[in-house]
Amino acid sequence: MNEFIQHVINGLSLGCIYALVAIGYTLVFGVLSLINFAHGEMVMMGAYFGMYFAKHFKLAEEPGISGLLLTLVATMIVTGCIGWCVEKFAYRPLKNAPRINLLITAVGVSLLFQFSGQLIFGSAPQFFPQLVEFNLDTWKIGELQFNPLQITVLGIALVLTVVLQTLVFKTRTGRGMRAVSFNRDLASLLGIPATRVISLTFVVGAALAGAAGVLVGLVYPKIDPLMGSLLGLKSFVAAVVGGIGNLSGAVLGALLLGLSEEFVVGYLAPTYRDAIAFAFLIIILLWRPSGLLGVNRIEKV
Amino acid sequence: MGNNVLLEVRDLSVRYGAVQALKSVHFDLIKGEILCLLGANGAGKTTLLKTLSGGLSPDSGTIRLHGSNLLALSTEARARAGMIHVPEGRGIFLNLSVEENLDLGAWTKRYTKTDYRAKLDEVFELFPRLKERLAQNAGTLSGGEQQMLAIGRAWMAEPEVLLLDEPSLGLAPKLIDKIFEIISTLQSKGATILLVEQNAEQALTIGNRGILLETGLVRMQGSAKELLASEEMRKSYLGLA
Q: Is the pLDDT of residue A201 over 50?
A: yes
> Taking 70 as the threshold, does the pLDDT of residue A135 lie above it?
no
Q: pLDDT digits over B173-207, tens only?
A: 999 999 999 999 999 999 999 999 988 889 999 99
Chain A residues near residue B77 by CB distance under 8 angstroms: 191
Question: Which residue among A189, A193, A194 places its CB closest to the CB of B85?
Answer: A189
pLDDT digit string (tens) for chain B, length 241 residues: 456 899 999 999 999 888 899 999 999 999 999 999 998 888 899 999 999 999 999 999 999 999 999 999 999 999 999 999 999 887 899 989 999 999 999 999 989 999 999 999 999 999 999 999 999 999 999 989 999 999 999 999 999 999 999 999 889 999 999 999 999 999 999 999 999 998 888 999 999 999 999 999 999 999 999 988 888 777 777 665 4
For the beta carbon of residue B7, count every other beta carbon within 10 angstroms.
Answer: 22
What does the DSSP assignment read for B161-172? EEEEE-TTTT--
Nearest to A232 by CA among A210, A247, A248: A210
Instruction: Locate the DSSP E strands across B152-223.
Output: 161-165, 193-196, 209-214, 217-223
H/E stretch holding B20 reads: strand B19-30
Q: What domains sit in chain B, N to C, each tagged with a CATH number? A: 2-236 (3.40.50.300)
B55, B103, B108 member nearest A191 (Cβ): B108
Q: Give tens-digit pLDDT for A74-98.
A: 999 999 999 999 999 999 999 888 9
Contact A188 B54 (CB under 8 A): yes
Contact A182 B75 (CB under 8 A): no
Which amino acid, one-letter code, is at A11?
G
Q: How far is residue B51's CA from residue B48's CA, in Å, rounded to a whole number?
A: 5
Q: Which of A29, A36, A103 is nearest to A294 (CA)?
A: A29
Please tell me chain B's helix, strand, coil percentages from 3-state DSSP, rounded to the nearest 5: 40, 25, 35
Distance of residue B160 Cα from the nearest chain A Cα, in angstroms: 13
Chain B residues whose beta carbon lies within 8 Å of the beta carbon of residue A176: 104, 107
Chain mean pLDDT for chain A: 89
Q: Among residues of chain A, what percentage have pLDDT more than 90?
A: 64
Q: Is B78 helix (H, G, I), strand (E, B) or coil?
A: helix
- Domain formed by A2-287, architecture: Orthogonal Bundle (1.10)
Residues 108..147 of B with a Cβ closer than 8 Å to A: which?
108, 139
